Amino acid sequence: MATPVVRQFGGARRRLIEELQAKGISDLAVLRAFDEVPRHAFVPSGVRHRAYEDAPLPIGHGQTISQPWVHARYLELLGLTGRERVLEIGTGSGFQTALLSRLAAQVFSIERIPALAQEAQAALAECGITSVVQRVGDGSLGWPEFAPYDAILVGAASPEVPRPLVEQLAIGGQLLVPIGGREEQVLVRVRRTEAGQERTSLDAMRFVPLIGTHGFED
C-alpha cells in the first residue's frame, strides 16, 4: 500500500514520466520506479514545488539532485533485472538510491557528507525504504567488504576511472562514471571481462566533482 508521501503530486509525477518517454527513456521498469518513488520527498521544502521539473535542484552542502533524465539514463543503461548487487557512489539526496531499491536485489550506497547521508536516510525511511545499506566515507575507494558488485554507479565526476571501483566489479559487471574536468565530462561505461575491461564513451554530462583518494582533491 502506498504511503501518503508517495501518493502526493501524482499528476506532476506522471507528467514527468511522459516527458522522460518523449526524451527517449523506454525501459518500463525504470519508468515504473519513477512512478513509485516521490522525488519531492528528496528535495528541500524551498524547491519542492519544482520537484517534477526535468532539472537538477540544489539540496544544500554545495550539492545537487541530478536532472531526472540523467537518473533515468543511468538506470536504463544498466538494464537491471532485479537480481543484482549494486553499489552507488554518492548517495546525495537519496532519490537515485530509492529508484535502485525498486530495480535491484541489494543496494549499497556511500556518501562523503555526513549531513547529506542523514537527510537521505530520513527521506528513504519516510518513503518506507529500509533495505538500503548506507555508510559515510570516500566513495572513490568503493566498499570492498561487500564486493563484487554487478553494477556500480558514480554520481560525481572523476578525472579518471577509479581503479578500486573496477576491481570491485564482478566479471560481467558494469561501472558508470562521468570522466573529465570539474566543469564538463563524458559518461563512461566500463565492463569487467575475463580478459580485463571494456570502456565505452556515452553522453556528455555535468556533475559535481568526486572528492576522494581516486577523484579530485577537496
d(CA 58, CA 159): 23
Set 26, 45, 66, 93: catalytic member = 66
- Evaluate the omega torsion of the peptide bond into residue 114 and state whether it is cis, within 30 degrees of 0: no
Would you call 66 a catalytic residue per the annotation?
Answer: yes
Dihedral angle, C-alpha 158, 161, 163, 169, nearest 10 °: 110
Q: What b/e sequence results for 60-83 when a residue is b if at least 16 CB atoms lie within 10 Å of its CB, and e otherwise?
A: eeebbbbbbbbbbbbbbbbebeee
Residue 210 corresponds to which amino acid? L
Question: Which of 164, 163, 166, 161 has its CA nearest to residue 187?
Answer: 161
Catalytic residues: 66
